[in-house]
Amino acid sequence: MTTPLAFFNGRFVPFAEAGLPLHDAGFVSGATVVDNARTFRHTLFRWADHLARFRRDCAACYVPLDATDAQLTAVAEELVAHNAKLLPAGGELQLVTFATPGPLGFYVGGAENGPATLGMVTYPLPFVRYRGFFAEGARLAFAGWNPGHPGDLLPPTVKHRSRLVWHIAQQSVSDPRSGVYCPGAVPLVLNYAGVGDTAIGSVLVVADGTVYRPPADATQDSISAKVIGELCAAAGVPFAEAAFDLSSPWRDRAHQQDAIVSRASELLLAGTGFCAAGVRELVWHQQQRPFAWPGPVLCQLLAAWSDLVGVDIARQFLDSEAGE
């Protein structure tokens, strides 16, 4: 076939023909658990970790997942193998796996719900979307608050399909009428303790040679942040968890500034699509806090990650014509 395939409820179908029925809980209620993995040289990276997180999140959200890990892996590998053949030279894929509770019977006059919906789709890794991260560094802009707490009914660690908060955040930083207008920036959303997250990756701080990640239960579970932790361990770079408050540089002077943030030399993003990137500026209501870019820790991490996967990650984004 010369068209991308998708996997939907036990069958491979042309991508254009795959879709949720309008009475599926994933559409009606946004009840969808999701995962997003990427390939290097057309091979899925850290798939076992992505699969484990997906299964854990399905269980936490009461979304049935009857397929075994072996079955899901076989489907993922077959789908990637087929769709990778359709890529331009140098192209890579991102693989989305999703599950919902399935159709809601009352929407069509029935009494039974389900069965659960399970699907996988791929899309070309959009190099152009992240190219600026490697050409000039990322900009993070505070977009608002989202009071995620580990004890919430839907904890912040779960990766789910509802992107409404991120849609609002993106529109806010793109709206000249808003108080957080910062076009082209990555929106940063904070919980009430000042711990931040983004739609595309985890935020990490480098201070006094140590890389700090947010507490594991305070933000979305980041496999890329875990990889950075492993790379740091191999290189002898200290790596630790800390509830650093990214709002502290702009807080009332009566409050003590977060010590880690006040000492920060680099600010990093860790995300599946781009792996690791550096932030050159954090923007808070038109006030800026600059950071070193590209900083020495970022350069060390990118070199180590490139060695790990056998691909020069920065050059892949800077030079590839795929995804234009």
40: CATH = 3.30.470.10
Q: How far apart are CA 267 and CA 208, in angstroms?
A: 12
Q: Are residues 300 and 209 in the same domain?
A: yes
Residue 91 sits in which domain range? Answer: 5-125
Which of 106, 125, 144 corresponds to the end of one domain? 125
- Residue among 70, 69, 53 at smallest CA distance from 61: 53
Q: What is the DSSP letter of 185?
A: P
The pLDDT value recorded for residue 150 is 87
pLDDT given at position 324: 54
CA distance 124 to 83: 9
Matching residue, tokens 């700090």: 212
Given 109, 125, 141, the domain boundary residue is: 125
Please give the Cα distance from 37 to 15 (Å, whole number). Answer: 18
Q: Decide if 12 contacts 36 (C-beta within 8 A).
A: no
Residue 193 lies in a domain: yes
Rounded Cα gap, residues 162 and 33, in angstroms = 9
State which of 125, 147, 162 marks the end of a domain.
125
pLDDT for residue 147: 86
User: Would you state the pLDDT for residue 251?
Assistant: 73
pTM for the model: 0.95
pLDDT of res. 93? 98
Give the DSSP letter of residue 108: G
**pLDDT of amino acid 256:** 67
The answer to whether residue 174 is domain-embedded is yes
Is cis: bond before 187, omega within 30 of 0?
Answer: no
What domain count does the chain have?
2
Structural domain includes residue 111: yes
Q: Residue 277: inside a domain, yes or no?
A: yes
User: What local confidence, expressed as pLDDT, does residue 185 receive?
Assistant: 97
Q: Is 241 within 8 Å of 215 (Cβ atoms)?
A: yes
User: For the chain, which residues score pLDDT lower than 50?
Assistant: none
Give me the pLDDT at residue 255, please. Answer: 60
Q: How far apart are CA 101 and CA 112, in angstroms?
A: 12
Q: What is the pLDDT of residue 95?
A: 98
229 is a domain residue: yes
Say if residue 94 is in the same domain as residue 139. no
